[in-house]
Amino acid sequence: MNVQLLIFFLYFAVVFAIGWYSMRATANESDYWIAGGKLGWGVGGATMAATHTSAGTFIGTIGVIYEVGWSFTWVLISIPLSYWFMVAVLAPRFTKVKELTLPAFLQRRYDSKAARGVGAVIILIATVVYIQAQIVAGGLVANIVFGIPTTQGMVIFTVILLIYTVIGGMLAVAYTDFLQMVIMVLGTVVSVPIAIHHFGGLDNMLNAVEAVKPLTFQWGGFPTTLLITMSLAFFLGSVATPEKVVRLYAMKDMKTIRKGILMTIILVTGINLLVFFLGLAAMALFPLLPTGDLSMPVIARAVLPTFIGTIMLAALTSAMMSTVDSLLLVAGSALSEDIYQNLVHSKASEKRRLQVARIGIFTVGIIPLILVLTGVGEGELIQFIVVLFTAIMAAGFFTPVVGGVLWKRATKAGAISAMIGGVVITGLWKAFGDPLIYPVLPGFIVSVTLYILVSLLTKPPSEKSWGVYFDD
């Protein structure tokens, strides 16, 4: 068995062991969905950071930098700002009542089962979009590492994810995320200096990049309006995406959340800045790649020493798995808690709801694979698929979630219209709008407008719906 196979075999063995342990430690729904609400700041911060750091980072960000140059890195400034906003503005009130899902918050805050159902449907739609990007990346890595066809790699990647997520729930996801974040940090910190040393120093690398692609360090590599609106998508989506806000419920208390989010900011920002250099290295060494999404896998295979390159590919695999398992869990809870229990069978037993959840997780994992294999979304850079998911989540959830803890007058009609209107306009703009303005901007504007106008035109909510969140 060669070094690469051994490292990946050991990695997956540990992941499955964690899944098995977590299944044994899961006693009820609270354990399965939010790890009992008892995560400390270390595991809590690591799982938040790992959820954020996906193929969009290790393949997508590097791929976009390879295609358009350094200007895309300005988008990354919005990320630490979004997490500051989450912990300073959203979390103190949002976590006053711990729910199992984000749609459950919508039901309590707006006293509306319909709001909960709409939120669950949006989650399912957006999750399918996002998981497609991660499956494509999984196939690329499998092709680079093991030499198997990309299609087979996508299937294997999906199966592995489904097994440990289905059996272990949030406990499995949180502990594997911690392991995966350690691997991501190790792979990035070790790989970047080696890549720079390959050129004989940073100055030599930058000169080599400029010689190959002179526009790399100029602002014009990426249209300004698109850059600004994509930054808005990252900011709004990072605050309100369900797989992230549910981690606020999973951590013990606000003190733990503050420490955990600080750790998240440090990890996410550091990794994003470091992978920027890998994108530049790929530009200089492999200027004729058919797609920028191949940059990181090619660097890992052709430039880094075998052991380090394999660790970096394991880091990439970790990034993908740590995001997809979280999304699968959120999708499963949407089906089990927010649709099945809320709208179909309100008296279903806890055991039955967990059975439905596991079936739902499996289903939501399989659908994106089928779409990818049939050519849906083919040709999109992975990072642009990721940002589309973020735009959908931002347009659907930022307004009713943040507005719900800041504005008492908001009504259920306002929340529902904001979610539906925001997502519909985002989709329509993506299909027919100006490509230089990312769809999150029109979607967000429509969402906020509907939220305010419809709320003001409908009967004020009772204190029962908002009182607990404003009891300062």
Domain limits, the chain = 3-379
Q: How confident is the model at residue 170 (pLDDT cuts 50, 70, 90)?
A: low
Q: How confident is the model at residue 220 (pLDDT cuts 50, 70, 90)?
A: low
Q: How confident is the model at residue 272 (pLDDT cuts 50, 70, 90)?
A: confident
Q: Show Cβ contacts of residue 168 under 8 Å, excluding neighbours closer than 6 positions.
A: 18, 19, 20, 21, 22, 23, 26
pLDDT higher than 90, residue 368 = no
Q: Are 181 and 159 in contact (CB under 8 A)?
A: no
Q: Are 237 and 393 in contact (CB under 8 A)?
A: yes
Q: How confident is the model at residue 290 (pLDDT cuts 50, 70, 90)?
A: confident
Q: Which of 30-44, 158-172, 363-377 has the least mean pLDDT?
A: 158-172
Q: What is the mean pLDDT of the chain?
A: 80
In terms of average pLDDT, the best of 81-90, 211-220, 346-355 is 81-90
Average pLDDT of the residues in 335-357: 74
Tens of pLDDT along 242-268?
888 888 888 988 999 999 999 999 988
- Closest by alpha carbon to 184, among 291, 37, 323? 323
Q: SS3 of 227, please? A: helix
Average pLDDT of the residues in 82-92: 91
What's 40's DSSP letter? -
Higher pLDDT, 395 or 298: 395
Q: What percent of the chain has pLDDT over 90?
A: 18
Average pLDDT of the residues in 390-400: 87
The pLDDT value given to residue 226: 80
Dihedral sign computed on CA atoms, order 187, 188, 190, 196: positive
Bridge partners of 251? 39
CA distance 218 to 27: 55
Any idea which residue has 């993908």 for tokens? 320
Give the amino acid at 255: K
The string of DSSP codes covering 237-294 is HHHH-HHHHHHHHHBSSHHHHHHHHHHHHHHHHHHHHHHHHHHHHHHHH-TT-S-GGG
The pLDDT value given to residue 282: 83
Tens of pLDDT along 449-466?
999 999 999 999 988 888
Q: Give me the architecture of the 3-379 domain, per CATH.
A: Up-down Bundle (1.20)
Q: How confident is the model at residue 276 (pLDDT cuts 50, 70, 90)?
A: confident
Tens of pLDDT along 106-119?
999 999 989 999 99
